[in-house]
Structure 1
Amino acid sequence: MDNQQSPNDSGYHIPVLYNECLEALNIKPSGVYVDCTFGGGGHSRGILANLNEEGRLIAFDQDADAQQNLPDDKRVIFVPQNFRHIQRFLRLHNYPKVDGILADLGVSSHQFDEGERGFSTRFAGPLDMRMDRRLPTTASDVLATYTEAQLHKLFEMYGEVTNSKTLAKHIVQNRAKTSLKTIEGFKAMLQPVVKGNPNKYLAQVFQALRIEVNQEMEALKEMLQQLPDVLNQDGRVAIITFHSIEDRIVKSFFKQGTFEEQVDNPFETVRKENPLKIITKKPIVPGAEETKRNPRSRSAKLRVAERK
């Protein structure tokens, strides 16, 4: 492989498992590849370095800020959309089938470091959290309108917050008398119910809200279901997850090719064949050197599958 050193990305976002992703994609020089999460363009630059003049890269990113990182390269097609619409936009650009797909599901360092985006507990700013600013619902809207049961479920599922039931009740009881428009206002409201390490607790709460606002799990499932139709035979898909739920979704789909429970039916003679073949029996994780250099890579897991 060429270009095996991970680019610095001028601090926008350090690409995780960079060399491992390029290797996993098994890049054909004249192939067509998709980067579902362009971000700072780190992984994309690695793919481009392995393509010849005929090769193409189709880069998706719903965050308008990502466009400023686009290289001046005629081989790149940028799609300012969520990757849940992958099939529609590949067809639109006359590339209905591709040779490889990469998705890095982590929030970029840039998004965490921009206070006005509302992703991080470290800054003062609006409680927004939309990766795509065209989305109608912010984190503040979720807190103001969801029922106690809905809030309990999302904090438990997406944040694994230990006292999610108490937290949901506290929000519903206090939201009428507190402004939830800002990060500072929300953090102050949470003070009485914070359990354990405050930084860890707040990070889990914010993570849950971000996943809900951006419909991250729904988008992931929709993208996965389109893979068999958009990948060429022997085409590879490489997905980096940072959350146990995401990882379970990817693992399950790669294994079964569906989200439906496979039940053995004695009257069913034809069992639906999985169109994907698992390449990574166990997920690839960052080594000690990478986690030291980039602590945010600690929870990353890379899974790879191939179209049969």
Structure 2
Amino acid sequence: MMYHDPVLLSEAIEGLSIDPSGIYVDVTFGGGGHSKTILEKLGGSGRLIAFDQDEDAVKNQLDDERFELVEANFRFLKNYLRMHDALPVDGVLADLGVSSHQFDTGERGFSTRFDGPLDMRMDQSVKKSAAQVVAEYDEEALERIFKLYGELRKAKLIARELVSVRDTESIDTVEKLKSVVERFGPKNKMAQFFAQVFQALRIEVNDELKALEELLIQSVDVLDEGGRLVVISYHSLEDRLVKNFLKTGNFSGKPEKDFYGNLIRPLKPVKNKVTVPTEEEIKRNPRARSAKMRVAIKNG
């Protein structure tokens, strides 16, 4: 099964600063690219626990006694690490977003390039698909999704149109959704417009931002002192949450201080500047273009 080249691979491994005898977690296993490289850096006593909720990713299981794969969403990080007797850990890696395999599989409904069912579920065992969101949410809820998660200016008009059309026709395929909303997109930026519409629905279906918040909070609990968190994000909504949490210890981005005037933040950014892919990597792997990586260390 073909999966994409892991994005920012050498930078992510450097960010983890791997101790060969340490315990590491790859919370977005996917094709296993990052995990394989982490295992190469680990010695005989090192451990790697990976998470993935996608049954396609589970087929990429690695045959290594130091490796364990948890078939679950990373929002359950702390519970599963406790179950696997793997606390505390020395590093956590999260490569967020949709894998190339998911984008390239038309029947998953993630991509605007192929027609297929309007699905978008990362965990195929959950019931709520993008088609159900479009069919069942009221106009106000749809507007909120497109405004918040898609950052679409015409969110209200798009929501109203979907509610109007679904009364007489099913909106349950990629092409049908595109045909209903395309008149609200700028003609010269239609690909970007469709991407924003799909992103909004995907985030809602998979509860992605809430899951990310839970991951960031739990990473503080599971990391050992001096342990590292590496997060690669692909759109501004994710990156803003990560940036705020690393800088201020909360998601609002407003610094809070203790009685002595010290900033309350459990993680400290390794560097304030975000890491982005090189031109060479983008040329080799165009999907790396929007990637941003942030690294933090747990305060002692």
Q: Same fold (TM over 0.5)?
A: yes
| 1:94-127 alpha-carbon deviations (Å, 9 max, x no partner) | 1121000000002100000111111011112110
Shift of residue 272 of structure 1?
7.0
Q: Partner amino acid for 2:79?
A: R
Moved runs in structure 1, 4+ residues, more than 4 A?
260-266, 268-272
Relative distance call for 1:254 and 1:186 in structure 2 (3 A) is: same
1:258 and 2:250 matched: yes
1:192-203 map, 5 Å: 192-196=183-187, 197-203=189-195
Shift of residue 230 of structure 1?
0.2
**Which SS does the other structure have where 1:235 is aligned?**
strand
Q: Distance in 2 between matches of 1:273 and 1:180?
A: 47
1:307 and 2:295 matched: no
Shift of residue 191 of structure 1?
3.6
1:155-166 map, 5 Å: 155-166=146-157
Alignment correspondent of 1:90: 81
Alignment correspondent of 2:66: 75
**Which SS does the other structure have where 1:73 is aligned?**
coil
Relative distance call for 1:295 and 1:77 in structure 2 (3 A) is: same
**Which SS does the other structure have where 2:59 is aligned?**
helix
Which structure 2 segments of 5+ residues have no match? Answer: none
Number of equivalenced pairs? 298
Alignment correspondent of 1:291: 282
Decide whether the 8 Å contact of 1:178 with 1:189 is kept in 2: no
Decide whether the 8 Å contact of 1:140 with 1:180 is kept in 2: yes
Alignment correspondent of 2:266: 275
TM-score, scaled to structure 2: 0.94
Shift of residue 264 of structure 1?
6.5
Relative distance call for 1:194 and 1:76 in structure 2 (3 A) is: same
Alignment correspondent of 1:167: 158
Q: Distance in 2 between matches of 1:47 and 1:261?
A: 32
Alignment correspondent of 1:111: 102
1:228-243 map, 5 Å: 228-243=220-235
Relative distance call for 1:146 and 1:49 in structure 2 (3 A) is: same
**Which SS does the other structure have where 1:171 is aligned?**
helix
Alignment correspondent of 2:213: 221
Q: Distance in 2 between matches of 1:113 and 1:264?
A: 43
What is the alpha-carbon root mean square deviation over aligned residues? 1.8
Decide whether the 8 Å contact of 2:277 with 2:288 is kept in 1: yes
| 1:52-105 alpha-carbon deviations (Å, 9 max, x no partner) | 111110000010111111221111110000100000000000112100000000
Shift of residue 263 of structure 1?
6.9
**Which SS does the other structure have where 1:39 is aligned?**
coil
Q: Distance in 2 between matches of 1:298 and 1:176?
A: 39
Q: Partner amino acid for 1:257?
A: G
Alignment correspondent of 1:46: 37
Decide whether the 8 Å contact of 2:112 with 2:195 is kept in 1: yes
Decide whether the 8 Å contact of 2:117 with 2:174 is kept in 1: yes
Which structure 1 segments of 5+ residues have no match? Answer: 1-9
| 1:121-164 alpha-carbon deviations (Å, 9 max, x no partner) | 11121101000012221001111121222211211221222322
1:120-131 map, 5 Å: 120-131=111-122
Q: Distance in 2 between matches of 1:178 and 1:259?
A: 40
Shift of residue 15 of structure 1?
0.4
Q: Distance in 2 between matches of 1:20 and 1:271?
A: 30
Alignment correspondent of 2:239: 247
**Range with greater deviation from structure 2 (97-106 or 169-178):** 169-178
